[in-house]
Amino acid sequence: MPLRAHRRTVLPAALIALAVGLSGCSSPTSQLDEYNQIEQGNARPAESPQVSDPVEGEVIPVPGSVVALVATGDRVAAQVDGPPGLEIGRVDGDRWIAEASVELPADAGIASAGHDGSVLVPFGDGVVVISPTGEAREISGLGPVTAAAETDDGRILTGDDDGSVVLRDSDGVEQDRVSGLTAVDRISVARDGSVTALSRPDTVVASIDFDEDVAGPLLRAGKGAGMLAGFGEGTMIASDTVGSTLLVYSTSPVRLHQQFPVAAQPWAVAADDSRDVVWVTSTGTNTVQAYDLGDGTGVRRADIATVRQPDSLAVTQSGTVVVGSSDGAGLHLIRPTLSAPAS
């Protein structure tokens, strides 16, 4: 993984937010008053409407509620909470072919993808690394881990409860660390090897460069960022759950390139390499949408009704969109047809 040094031109997050808030045409005083009345940060999935109507595709039952989804090729690992575990299956169109079940610690955090098809799950004393075939390896003695990811050379990244991102070898031995965040809720590794972390309490995304001691640049991510996902080479997408927008960043270092409105209370985000679009779930409407980022503004290409409380999302290599319900409704497997791009 390239560990590059970057020249910094960092503005405080509060100053960035204020500049955004005062950019409209109304008076600075009224804009500032309105902005200060909105609760910032600490995003969580909004409670969904009770009614959902997933007409397209197939809904597959799984034990308990779905906490997270990780897709590698056409294999999907569904993290569930009844009891805590991973349900690993192969997706063929809109069919689910179960392959393995893996038990997880009771205090398991949110799963993320490794570089070689593995799945990483943080927990109260370390990380569990699960192979694509369901073999689990527990790395303990690390203390509470809040988020985990893996570099393209097999090293492990962990987030600590003191707001640090730690670089470890494959056995968990600490090699380096970067501090300076309030919390580490998600870690994203782009295809170019650049690392970005999300701190939900202050809705900040930050570049993580192990040639530096402190995280940065730091950028305010909307009004309440929820989830991160990589998209293409050196690009990251984030849901602004509180502000109901999608954020598109370049990485190395992190810079905001696009921000546009989406359906209410977006949460889960995933890249669709087969169609070159981004998928976003809306917990406010029980839908999942596809957005084409090609023209710089974000064009909606699909809007599909899905299961209630669609808090997790993944897209397989062959293009099946998988939505997970945290309300016990299971997995929704969809083979979508996109609308034609605007001429």
User: Under 8 Å CB-to-CB from 162, ≥6 apart: which residues?
Assistant: 179
Q: Which two tokens stand for residue 79?
A: 């993290």
Residue 84 one-letter amino acid = P
The pLDDT of residue 232 = 84
Can you tell me the distance from the alpha carbon of 139 to that of 123, in angstroms, rounded to the nearest whole number? Answer: 10
Beta carbons within 10 angstroms of residue 255's beta carbon? 11
Specify the range with the lowest mean pLDDT, choosing from 14-18, 129-133, 184-188, 321-325.
Answer: 14-18
CB 284 within 8 A of CB 243: no
Q: Which two tokens stand for residue 302?
A: 């699909």
Strand partners for 103: 85
Only one residue has tokens 């397989």, namely 316
Q: Which residue has the higher pLDDT, 3 or 210?
A: 210
φ, ψ dihedrals at 33, nearest 5°? -60, -45
CB 273 within 8 A of CB 317: yes
pLDDT (tens digit per residue) in 82-95: 899 999 999 999 99
Can you tell me the distance from the alpha carbon of 92 to that of 142, in angstroms, rounded to the nearest whole number? Answer: 38
Can you tell me the distance from the alpha carbon of 323 to that of 268, in angstroms, rounded to the nearest whole number? Answer: 9
pLDDT (tens digit per residue) in 245-281: 999 999 988 999 999 999 999 999 999 999 999 999 9
- Is the predicted pLDDT of residue 234 greater than 90, yes or no? no
Mean pLDDT for all residues in the chain: 89
Strand partners for 186: 198
CB 158 within 8 A of CB 125: no
- Is the predicted pLDDT of residue 18 greater than 80, yes or no? no
- Is the predicted pLDDT of residue 117 greater than 80, yes or no? yes
The pLDDT of residue 22 = 33
- Is the predicted pLDDT of residue 228 greater than 50, yes or no? yes
Specify the range with the lowest mean pLDDT, choosing from 11-20, 139-148, 285-294.
Answer: 11-20
Q: How confident is the model at residue 342 (pLDDT cuts 50, 70, 90)?
A: low
- Is the predicted pLDDT of residue 17 greater than 80, yes or no? no
Pick from 190, 67, 72: which is nearest to 134 by CA? 72
CB 46 within 8 A of CB 243: no
Q: How confident is the model at residue 343 (pLDDT cuts 50, 70, 90)?
A: low
CB 248 within 8 A of CB 256: yes
Average the pLDDT over 21-30 and give the result: 40
